[in-house]
Amino acid sequence: MDNHHVFNMDEKLWTQVDELLETNLISTLNEDRRLINQTRDNGLPGINVTPLQGALLTILVKSINASSCLEIGTLGGFSSSCIARGMDKKGKIISLEVNEKHKTVAERNLRERGLHEQVEIRHGPAIDSLKDMLKAKTYRFDFVFIDADKMNNKNYVELALQMCHKGSLIYVDNVVQGGAILKPSAEHDSSGNVEMVKYIKGNSKLMSTCIQTVGEKGYDGFLLAYVL
C-alpha cells in the first residue's frame, strides 16, 4: 500500500507526530517548552525552532566539536540555548539581533539558564554587525545558524562564509516556506532564498543540501552547507 494514503497529511497530524517524538526523544523537553513559553508570554512571535529542530542544532554542533558559533537571529534565545548545549562551557556564541526587545527577552531567558556568559547578543542590523566583524579579522566560526529575515540570506551566507574554515557547517532555516521558494514573493521573503541557493550553487567552497520538513510549524525545510 502507498503510504501516502494511510493518513490524511496535514498540520494536525504533523503536530501530533512531533509531540509523540518530542515526548520520547527530548530529555530537556520541559525546559525547552518553558523557555519557548516565556518568549511568547513576553509578546515575541512564535517562530522559534521546535524542540526537535533544536535537538538537531545541538547534535550538529556536538558532532563537529564546535567551540565558536555564530547565530543570525536570536528571537527569545531558544536556538541559542540549543547551540550552547552542544558545546562545552568554554564555547562561545555570538548572536545577532536587530530587535531590541528580542535582545532583552533573550538575555533574560539565557541568564536564568546560566548561559549568559556563553552567549553574546549584539544588537543592530546583522549585515552591519557582520561587516564590522570582518573588518576586525579576529573571528573564526565552526558553526553558523541563520534564522532571520530571508531577503538577506544570500548576504548572510556570503559574509559568514568569510569567517568560516574548512569543516565549518552553515545551517539556514526556513528555506522552503510552504513551497514559496517555487514562486518567490516579497510576502514570504522567498526571493532571498532563491538568491541564496543560486549563490551557493556557484560557490566552489560549499557542499550543500536542503531537506524539506513537516511538523508543528507546518511545511518548510532547512539548508545545510559544509565548507570545503
| Residue 39: all three cell numbers together | 518568549
Residue 130's Cα: distance from chain center in Å? 17
* CA-wise closest residue to 74 among 52, 93, 89: 93
Distance between CA atoms of 70 and 87, rounded to whole angstroms? 13
**Per-residue pLDDT, 10:** 86
**Per-residue pLDDT, 1:** 41
CB burial of 128-165 (b: ≥16 within 10 Å; e: otherwise) equals: ebbeebeeeeebebbbbbbbbebbbbbbbbebbbebbe
Distance between CA atoms of 205 and 165, rounded to whole angstroms? 10
Number of domains observed in the structure of the chain = 1
1 by Cβ neighbours in 10 Å (0-12 / 13-18 / 19+) ranks as exposed
Which conformational region is residue 187 in: left (phi greater than 0), alpha (psi within -120 to 50 degrees), or beta?
Answer: alpha
Distance between CA atoms of 113 and 174, rounded to whole angstroms? 27
Distance between CA atoms of 15 and 28, rounded to whole angstroms? 18
Kindly report the CATH number assigned to the domain that includes residue 163: 3.40.50.150
- Each residue's pLDDT, cut to its tens digit, for the chain (228 residues) gives 455 555 667 889 999 999 999 999 999 999 999 999 999 999 999 999 999 999 999 999 999 999 999 999 999 999 999 999 999 999 999 999 999 999 999 999 999 999 999 999 999 999 999 999 999 999 999 999 999 999 999 999 999 999 999 999 999 999 999 999 998 876 778 899 999 999 999 999 999 999 999 999 999 999 999 999
Range of the domain at 216: 3-227
CB 82 within 8 A of CB 50: no
DSSP 3-state assignment of 223?
strand
DSSP 175: S
* CA-wise closest residue to 109 among 121, 122, 91: 121
